[in-house]
Every structure is written in structure tokens, then in C-alpha cells.
Structure 1
Amino acid sequence: MELGVTTYKKGEFIETDTGNKVSRRSLIFGSQNIVLGGKTVVHSKCTIRGDLRRAGLTHQAAVLIGRFCSLGEASVLRPPYKTYKGVFSYYPLKIGDHVDIGENSVVEAASIGSHVRIGRNCIIGRFAIIKDCCLVEDNAVIAPNTVVPSFSVVAGGPPAKVVARLPESTQELFEAYSKDKYSKLVPQ
């Protein structure tokens, strides 16, 4: 699938030294607790909740995002939480490299592997684990604590189910797609 060039107004994104492009219209809370690996795009109205983290853990990031990721417009990323022995705690949200999260999706997973595409309007439940090389179809609802195996296509829900398997070439295809998408996001 060949991507066309997407242009934006020069002042719309802040570009970091590592090539991250963060929309000025995104909502970033607790930025000191968010790590972007480089060449990641945070689109407008995307919300990242870095302020939700375990109390007392000063050196642990709340949200870790790898390289060449794309966080869709109006998507929400927040760390998962649970109550254990009467204590309410947040846990880190870890996202690998070459991950594409679609518009209006809500992610509260424990981890998302590398080379993953999450469609539009998806809900990824608390403490879900999505392994490497997966495709989550539009409107899928992954239940909390679900583990999605590598090379799976997931659709439907709640709860979403594995409906197909991806080929072994998925890693190369998703990597090429994410690099192409990043390179074709250019200022006017």
C-alpha cells in the first residue's frame, strides 16, 4: 500500500532532537514520565497520561513508546491500574517500535510489542498484552488481561477474537510502512 504525502502547517508540530513530532494540540500530562524512543508522531487531540504512575517510583516512566510509532488523532494512552491489598497502583505502559495506533482508540495495556497496528475506535483493556507482529482490526475490543499471540489478526468484541494469522513477512512490511508514513509527514 503506497502512502501519499501528508502535509502540516510548520507551527503545528514540535519536533525534538530525536525526530519525534508532537502536535501542539495533543494533551500530554506528566511529560517527565513519558519516554518517546525517536521518530514517533503524536497527532492532534491525542492524550498521553504520564501523570498516572506509581507513587514513590521516581525513576520509572509511566509510558514508554518505541521508535517510528504513530499515535492517532484523539487516541488515549494511559497506564493500567489495579488495587492490591487496598492500595491503588498504576503500572507502566510499554509500547515497542513500529506501532501504529488508530484514531479514537483507547489503550490501557501492560505492553504492546513491536510491529503492531491497532485500528480506529479500538479499546485495549487494562493489562492486556499484545505480542509482536499483530494487527488489531477497526472497532475491536480487547478484554482486560488478554494476551494476543504474535502474528495474530484480532477483530470484533467484546471480547475480540483471533480471526486470522499474519505471514512471517509482517515485521518487514510493518517496519517499511511506519518508516514510509513518518518520512511522508512533511511541513508545508
Structure 2
Amino acid sequence: MEKKKLIIYGVGRFAEYVQYVFEQDSSYIVEAFCIESKLMDLQTWKSKIPLISLEVFLKEYSVENYFVFVAVGNNNIRKHFFLLFKENGFSLANYISTQCSSWPNLRLGENIFIDEGCVLQPFIEIGDNSILFTSQIGHHTHIGKHSLISGAKTGGNVKIGDNCYVGLNASIKQNISVADNSIVGMGCIIEKDTDLNEVYTHKGTVKRKIDATQISSRFLR
């Protein structure tokens, strides 16, 4: 089966990761990376895969022959370029790792990224342009558009809105709704519905007034 041609928007470490997993574990082959011409730096470009300008791509590459993936972590920037490519008629690719755990009734939009560490129960829906890293998502959960879930865990029947961020080791109780534009920081526990634009942070780790040698001598013999 002939592989589909993919252009990746982005040039950072996430874009490099995206290129690797698409080529190792999908029906796509990466033809090029692209970025705006003003941001291009060909002198320091190290990848064997070509780097082209966004302007050239939109002008010279056909929507019939190329798919796009927007490999940007920032939700707002990723949303901007997702909409730009859609307005120009391009189809956006999804990556769902064959090493993640998921079920056949998983419902997805476009430009979805689900990595190898994710565990997804049945009856999950994920909206356009959302990214999941190493997360456990409970049954009947709905994740909105342009959101990023990183190393988090939800109970069943959770609703996460559009443009949300949920950080490492954050937990969301079953039947909870996380409103649009919510930011749930690393280590937070959400037990009540959130409101629009709310930000949650967990109290940081406290540095002890004792050094590691003292701990070793007292407790680790």
C-alpha cells in the first residue's frame, strides 16, 4: 500500500518526535517540514527531510496530494495554523499510536495526536486539533477542540472543553466538566466543575532543610 504524503508544520522537538512516529507507525511518509519564511534558518537545519516555507507550501502544493499535521504544543498557535490549513482546503492527519490502548468506538476529529503511553477506555470522543500525551482517559469522556492533555488521568464521563490544558499527574473526578479555556496545572485534583478561563495550580514541592547525606545516614542503611 502506497503511503500518503505528509507535511509537518513546525520545527521544534515536538515536530521531530511527530516525524519519527508517523514514519515508524503510520500510513504516512513525511515529505517536508514547513514554517514561515521569516522563521526559516537553513544554515542550522540538520534534518535530512527538507524544510520549506509555509508560503511556498500553500502556493505550490496541492490539497489532493498532501496531508498536513500541525506539530505545535501551544494551543492558541496550533489552533491558528489548524484553521489556516483548513481554510486553504487541506486535510489534516491523525496519529494514534499502535502501542496505546484504545477501543474501536473511539471518535476523533482532525489533527489528533495520541502517543504510545495513552490508555483510552470505550466511548471517548476527541475534538479537532487536540493532543494527548501519556494520559489515562475514562469511558464516555469528551475532550474538546484545540486542547492538550499531558500525563493526566480522568474518571468516566468527564467533559473537557475547548482550548484547555491539563498537566502532568493532574486528576479529574468522574462526571466533572472542565470549562473552555481552563488551565489545570501539574498535580492538581479537580473534584468540582470549573468555570470559563479558570486556572488551577498545585502548591509546589517544598525544599527540606536537610541534605541528602543526612537522609542517607539516618534512614537508608
Instruction: Judge conservation of contact 2:188–2:200 (CA < 8 Å) in 1.
Output: no
Write 1 or 2 for the structure with the bigger share of strand. Answer: 1
Write 1 or 2 for the structure with the bigger share of helix. Answer: 2
Q: Work out whether 1:124 is the aligned partner of 2:190.
A: no
Instruction: Judge conservation of contact 2:152–2:167 (CA < 8 Å) in 1.
Output: no
Structure 2 gaps, min length 5: 1-90, 202-221
Q: Measure the CA separation in 1 of the matches of 2:108 and 2:190.
A: 25
Percent same amino acid among aligned pairs? 24
Q: Work out whether 1:102 is the aligned partner of 2:151.
A: no
Corresponding residue number in structure 2 for 1:18: none
Corresponding residue number in structure 2 for 1:39: 105
Higher Cα radius of gyration? 2
User: Which residues in structure 2 correspond to 1:96-175 (within 5 Å)?
Assistant: 96-149=138-191, 152-155=192-195, 156-159=197-200
Q: Measure the CA separation in 2 of the matches of 1:45 and 1:143.
A: 24
Shift of the alpha carbon at 1:37?
2.7
Cα deviation digits, residues 117-172 of structure 1 (max 9, x gap): 000000011110111110000000001100112xx211333327xxxxxxxxxxxx
Cα 1:147–1:35, aligned 2, differ >3 Å: closer, same or farther? same
Q: Measure the CA separation in 1 of the matches of 2:179 and 2:198.
A: 11
Q: Work out whether 1:71 is the aligned partner of 2:126.
A: yes
The 3-state SS of whatever aligns with 1:36 is coil
Q: Measure the CA separation in 1 of the matches of 2:136 and 2:94.
A: 19
Q: Measure the CA separation in 1 of the matches of 2:93 and 2:157.
A: 24
Total equivalences in the alignment: 111
Corresponding residue number in structure 2 for 1:185: none
User: Which residues in structure 2 correspond to 1:53-64 (within 5 Å)?
Assistant: 62-64=117-119
Instruction: Judge conservation of contact 1:26–1:42 (CA < 8 Å) in 2.
Output: no
Q: Measure the CA separation in 1 of the matches of 2:101 and 2:171.
A: 19
Structure 1 gaps, min length 5: 1-23, 51-61, 80-92, 161-188
Corresponding residue number in structure 2 for 1:176: none
Q: Measure the CA separation in 1 of the matches of 2:113 and 2:142.
A: 15
Instruction: Judge conservation of contact 2:171–2:187 (CA < 8 Å) in 1.
Output: yes
* RMSD of equivalent CA atoms: 2.0
Greater RCO, CA 8 A, separation 6+: 1
Aligned residue among 95, 99, 102 for 1:28: 95
Instruction: Judge conservation of contact 1:109–1:129 (CA < 8 Å) in 2.
Output: no
Cα 1:26–1:42, aligned 2, differ >3 Å: closer, same or farther? farther
Q: Which amino acid aligns with 2:146?
A: N
Q: Which amino acid aligns with 1:96?
A: G
Cα deviation digits, residues 12-46 of structure 1 (max 9, x gap): xxxxxxxxxxxx844325x2321113411121111
